[in-house]
Amino acid sequence: MKRIIAANGIFMKALIASKTNKSLNHYTFKDVLSTFGDTRVDILKIDIEGAEFEIQDELISVPICQILIEIHGKSAKHTLQLLQKFSKNGFYLFSYEINGRYHELSEYSFIHQDCFKDYGIKTIYGKYLS
């Protein structure tokens, strides 16, 4: 805890949800950003055990440069729809990996087009999901 405080870190007990319910510690992602006065997220790692499908609209509604997300394959159709939604909203897939132990899980890494300049990206080879 002392190391977190020394790095100006703050803990917030929160479950990221599609609706805020403070009595249950459920918060939308927008509300978490607002709580800390953030307007942009550079890198967001998401591993929320299947809830990524519930908050997908919330994720694309805030400025995020990179999303690193583990997707729990409800079905290939649901996974593809989520990946296409990210792509249609300016995210480019740059890495993909199937979990070696649990094959229904996969890791995907995206970068948003608005952050290309910040990360020195000059060449785009293709956009395959949308």
Instruction: Tell me the one-letter amino acid at 100.
Output: G
In 3-112 the beta strands, taken as DSSP E runs, fall at: 15-16, 26-27, 41-46, 64-72, 91-98, 105-112
Q: What's the CA gap between 65 and 118, in Å, rounded?
A: 9
Q: What is the pTM of this model?
A: 0.81
Scored b (16 or more CB within 10 A) or e, 99-111 reads: eeeeeebbebbbb
Sorted by where each starts, the structural domains of the chain and their CATH numbers stand as 39-115 (3.40.50.150)
Q: What's the CA gap between 23 and 1, in Å, rounded?
A: 24
Q: What is the pLDDT of residue 74?
A: 67
Question: How many residues make up the chain in this entry?
Answer: 130
pLDDT in tens, the chain (130 residues): 788 888 888 888 888 888 899 999 999 888 999 998 998 999 999 887 777 888 888 888 889 999 999 988 767 888 888 899 999 999 999 999 988 887 778 899 999 999 999 999 988 887 778 7
Distance of CA 71 to the CA centre of its chain: 10
Hey, how many other C-beta atoms are within 10 angstroms of the C-beta on 52?
21
